[in-house]
Structure 1
Amino acid sequence: MAEMICIGAIAGAFGVHGEVRLKSFTATPEDIASYAPLTTEDGTRAFEITLTGQTKNGFTARLSGVATKEQADALRGARLYVPRDRLPGLPDDEFYHADLIGLEVFDTGGTALGRVRAVLNHGASDLLEIEMPGQSATVLLPFTRQAVPTVDLTAGRIIADPPEGLF
């Protein structure tokens, strides 16, 4: 099976006629419907999507096969996936979050700093959450060209030049 990438999540029911609140993780949020059919993580359900409106932090949408509020409520929290090959290619300096998670992080001297646990964005820019070896604490590294000059997906590593005192 092709690698599956999460591009959205169902936040719950909207109204009483089977619509859902939909969060989009795509670069242009309203493009989520164009990637349909979207499947659940286990691949047992697939949905065509029709966006019907906007809500705070997302959209309202109709999903194929969902006609009642109860059916929509049952999907709360479901993440929606597409095969990797259905996503568009990216320019050299852009990456899918899924490609960064799990990469080893080294400093410019070759010392291992940790592994990317997650990619976060709290409004200003992306942050790489780095798990440090042998520690439960994580470090948030700004995902900027200055702090992360090299991302080598082929080798599965990131070369970082973190701000002084971060690690």
Structure 2
Amino acid sequence: MIVLGRIVTPHGVRGGVKIHPFGDDPLSWGKMIYWWLGRNPESTDEADWKAYRLLSLREQGSSLVASFDGVPDRSAAEQLDGLFIAAPREDLPRPGFDEYYWGDLIGLTVLNTAGVNLGVVSKLLETGAHDVLVMEYGEAEAKGERLIPFVAAFIKDVNLKTREILVEWEADW
């Protein structure tokens, strides 16, 4: 499952929910008939996700408002508050050139331009300015975490085939 966003609050009295998307083109998700909702964004077990048929989707500022079959009113929408939204990879719209789903980046090895292994992407963070790669490196007591802004100034190449990300970043930064 690829996590797409999170329900942040009920919206209105007819069962709508407000969604914080984790992507740049969330209206394209409206082409998917079903969205999967669940509590654990890291779960790969489909039993942890429940499919909901999407009835409507629209933008509202930087958020989305969606409604689902079987969620007729605000009380039902309140039960969805805080759930994550996901979809199987094969159901998602294809990303454009130089675009990636966050889930595609998890587990990739990050190398700097000198060939030094900086770690493996464990997750991404969304900040107000830009997304940030979170990498884990080392073993035992020497384990650590690195944060690298996911912006063109530092990210030189993402190669999904070799499962590597090339960055302009020093190991001691």
Verify the 8 A CA contact 1:117 1:131 in the aligned structure 2.
Answer: yes
Distance in 1, matches of 2:28 and 2:13, equals 25
Runs of 4+ with >6 A deviation: none
Structure 2 contact 116–171 (Cα < 8 Å) conserved: no
Q: Against the structure 1 CA distance between its residues 52 and 125, is the aligned structure 2 distance closer, same or farther, given a 3 Å change threshold?
A: closer
- Quote the RMSD (CA, aligned, Å): 2.6
Q: Which amino acid aligns with 1:144?
A: V
Question: More displaced, 148-157 or 66-75?
Answer: 148-157
- 2:53–2:68 CA contact under 8 A, matched in 1: yes
Asked if 1:43 is matched to 2:53, the reply is no
SS of 1:31's partner is helix
Q: Residue 59 of structure 1 aligns to which amino acid in structure 2?
A: L
Q: Where does 1:146-161 land on structure 2 (aligned, <5 Å)?
A: 146-161=153-168
TM-score by length of 2: 0.76
**1:165–1:85: structure 2 CA closer, same or farther, 3 Å change rule?**
same
The residue type paired with residue 51 of structure 2 is R
Q: State the AA in 2 paired with 1:78.
A: L
Unpaired runs of 5+ in structure 1?
Answer: none
SS at match of 2:111: strand
Query: What is the percentage of aligned positions where both structures have the same residue?
Result: 30
Give the paired residue count: 162
Match of 1:13 among 10, 35, 40: 10
**In 1: Cα distance, 2:144 partner to 2:17 partner:** 36
Partner of 1:73: 78
| Structure 1 residues 15 and 89: alpha-carbon distance in aligned structure 2, compared to 1, 3 A threshold | closer
Question: Structure 1 pair 164/154, CA: closer, same or farther in 2 (3 Å)?
Answer: closer
Shift of 1:57: 4.3
TM-score (norm 1): 0.79
**For residue 142 of structure 1, what is the aligned residue in structure 2?**
149
Distance in 1 of aligned mates of 2:169 and 2:114: 12
| 1:101 partner letter | I
Structure 2 portions without partners, runs of 5+: 39-47
